[in-house]
Amino acid sequence: MQFLIDFILHIDVHLANLVNSFGLWSYALMFLIILIETGVVVLPFLPGDSLLFAAGALSANANNILDAWILWIGFFIVSLIGDSLNYFIGRTIGQKLLNTKIGHFIKPEQIKETEKFYEKHGAIAIILARYMPIIRTLAPFVAATSNFPYLRFFKYSLIGTFSWASIAVWAGYFFGNIPFVRKHFTMIILAIIIVTILPAVIGFIKTRTKKTKN
């Protein structure tokens, strides 16, 4: 866990080392991380937002082999595939998975929070969830277990993944190499993490408060 935290907070350094070590294979590794984060429902804690931002920033460096267009299209496609994979896991073995040891990685309150998110926002929640760590991984799974029609889910997933990949990669590309941003990169990554998980944290606190009152 300590390694994961260090990797996320200093992702610019680790990503640069990854690219230097693996060259073009680093594309495959980054795409695999996003595919796992979005497609494997029991691993919702991988660094999606910060990875896309850092990769976009790195691609703006003239001395780097990464191409922003390849990153953008690649992240969009793998996150879309991951959403569908996650959905079909939920549709085929959803409840059974939750009852296994692997399912213990998913906390009941996380499922409930995602269900409430759906109840509050409706189908648009599939788009909004893309910007919220943990919930974005659980959203396709919960949609499937709630018998949400796949074609309708796919339509909103398409919009969500496209906008998410576009904003994250191009924000990194255009802003990641500004001197102030580079100097305070760790703090900015931390701010991105805090902003994206804040709604989930607030929701969790509200749920715990209601349970305490009851």
- Tens of pLDDT, residue by residue over 158-201, are 999 999 999 889 988 988 777 777 666 656 666 766 665 566 55
- Tens of pLDDT, residue by residue over 98-132, are 655 555 555 666 666 666 767 676 677 788 878 77
Residue 61's pLDDT is 82
Residue 33's pLDDT is 87
- DSSP, residue by residue, the chain: -HHHHHHHHTHHHHHHHHHHHHTTHHHHHHHHHHHHHHH-TT-TTS-HHHHHHHHHHHHTSTT----HHHHHHHHHHHHHHHHHHHHHHHHHHHHHHHTSSGGGGS-HHHHHHHHHHHHHHGGGHHHHHTTSTTHHHHHHHHHHHTT--HHHHHHHHHHHHHHHHHHHHHHHHHHTTSHHHHHTHHHHHHHHHHHHHHHHHHHHHHHHHHHHH-
d(CA 211, CA 214): 5
Residue 159's pLDDT is 92
Angle at 198 between CA 194 and CA 202, to 5 degrees: 150
- Tens of pLDDT, residue by residue over 46-75, are 667 778 888 998 898 877 889 999 999 999
d(CA 126, CA 123): 6
